[in-house]
Amino acid sequence: MDIVYIRDLRIETIIGIYDWEREVKQTISLDLEMAHDIRKAAETDDIEYALNYKSIAKRLIAFIEGSEFLLVERMAEEIARIVQEEFSVPWLKLRVSKPGALRYSQDVGIIIERGVRG
């Protein structure tokens, strides 16, 4: 299976468990790898057969900007669900990070894989 990816998609949102985190928007960063057979799109040069990463990015931006999760883990599960259910992605690998969330660290976060890679 081929991989379509989005790297370092930065979105402002309310995320975190501390009182101050509930009052200010923070930046989260997404890296997303998605299984998709690109051969038909390559053969026809037709977007209809491609996994439209712009549509996925727009959907995730709207969802995350409107969310107020406590945990990155919950956010990651919801992102994975949206991508798999709404865009028919059988497998994905998702990295969600909070840049600057931990002193002396570039970022912190989680990586999850969901589904079956074809």
Q: pLDDT tens for residues 47-67? A: 999 999 999 999 999 999 999
Name the average pLDDT for the chain: 96
How are the residues of the chain apportioned to helix, strand and coil, as percentages rounded to the nearest 5?
35, 35, 30
The CATH number of the domain covering residues in 3-115: 3.30.1130.10
Across 69-97, average pLDDT: 98
Contact (Cβ atoms closer than 8 angstroms) between residue 65 and residue 12 = yes
From the list 110, 91, 118, 115, the residue with the least C-alpha distance to 15 is 110
Q: What is the percentage of the chain residues whose pLDDT exceeds 70?
A: 100
Distance CA 38, CA 31 (A): 19
DSSP state of 47: G
Query: Catalytic: 98?
Result: yes
Contact (Cβ atoms closer than 8 angstroms) between residue 111 and residue 95 = yes
